[in-house]
Structure 1
Amino acid sequence: MYWFMQGLCFLPAFLVVWSSSTFVVCYLIALLRGDVDVIFPFISDTGAEPPESCIFGLMTFITACAGIATIYSRYKFVEKLSEETRVVNPCLNKSALYIGLLSCLGMCIVATFQEIAETKPHDAGALLFFVTGVTYIVLQTVISYQAFPFGASMTVIRVRLCISILATLAFFPTVVCAFFVKQTELHRDPADKDYPYHLASAVCEWIVAFSFTCFFFTYIDEFKLFTLQVKTEYEGYSNS
């Protein structure tokens, strides 16, 4: 049996590959068309102009759907593990689920409202995505420590901790520096006064985004351990 056919590991594997492709494909198309600068545009800049905006919206929406499936599957795995071992607080597991779903909602908002067309809804969606996304991976790191030695190995847990710390540290300059960026054009001049803030915010934004991707990559081995089944019950009409 191929590794991606074991359990549900195809879910995080697909999420990692597809989300990475979303960032890279849109960046390359925007770059080849001359819509963005080579050096660290904002992620949303790479999907601001058509046709890359259409590709960005579609691929981001599919990423959000894959994220929902992966986050819910992770929740059910931890729930089952908690029922048998009582090592994970159920409230913590549910909180991680809801926060993770909110991050996917933020992603859908980003995909629906392009940066140039609808700036405020787009920025609100991006902020929701990053805040809840960072919170989700931090909570999942705590859950991983609580569940040990069940599920992930200590090496994987430590990797998750490092990713969570990196994402958290990169999140703050992403948001703070963005407030000092006044220019809204896609092409930037290094001589602009707010260019250093733009560069710092953009670099940290890419770091946070790929931190999420790397974090879900650590799910693959655990997702080999379980499957989900849908149970259908039919209640027939009784003749009275």
Structure 2
Amino acid sequence: MKKVWGLSAILLGSLVAFHSTAGDANSQYMIRFAQQVPVIDGNGTDAAWNNAQPLTDFTFPWRADAAPDTEFRALWDRDALYFRYVLEDQNLAVGTDPERAVLDSDRAEIFLAKNPQLSSYYTMEIDPKARVFSADAAYDMTKKKRVKLDSNWNWPGLVTKASITENGYVVEAKLPMATITDLELWQDDAQSELLCALMRAEFTPKQDGSLDMGWMTWIDPQTAKPNFHNPGTFGSCKLVK
């Protein structure tokens, strides 16, 4: 019986901590309704993006370096969610290994979770060439670690575009509402709230061919080492009109 109560306490404590974070105004992003949807072409210049709320609170939680500018915007309509990242980067890393090109690249990242425990969540990592690394993942609240990462999984209907600019790169994406519904990602009956983690892999190529790997997040998960795969990285993305 003591073991059961101990496990319950661990789970309850983790959930309370998550909801405390998600309830913080600094961990909520409002996705505005699109009167006119943006064209997803990777250029990021469509005027429709001006109606989206800009989010620029991205930092390096695990190093003292000044973080390069990162801006995220999102919109929605009945058919889809629309995302855009504008990323400052003076030293782009673009992977060429066919088996791990995206993982060796700078990239913008979005995770969406089915529940606060992260018993099921899905990753989306998009590099400067619009290539996507996606996975069906799971986290164990008791072990406090990721216990599943199926990289053979892909987002149904996802459209990605990207372009390299003078100052970095732009990533745009369109995700069908039907996909979100089918994956049971809505957090309320009104289908207006998502559990979302917004991150960035900021890599710098080194002279010896290796990579200096920096990791940026919207929400600091308060972990000792870089780790996007935990409940503390997630906040709330709310659809509003």
If the length of structure 1 is used for normalisation, what is the TM-score?
0.29
The structure with the largest helix share of the pair is: 1
Computing the radius of gyration from Cα coordinates, the structure with the larger value is 1
Higher strand share: 2
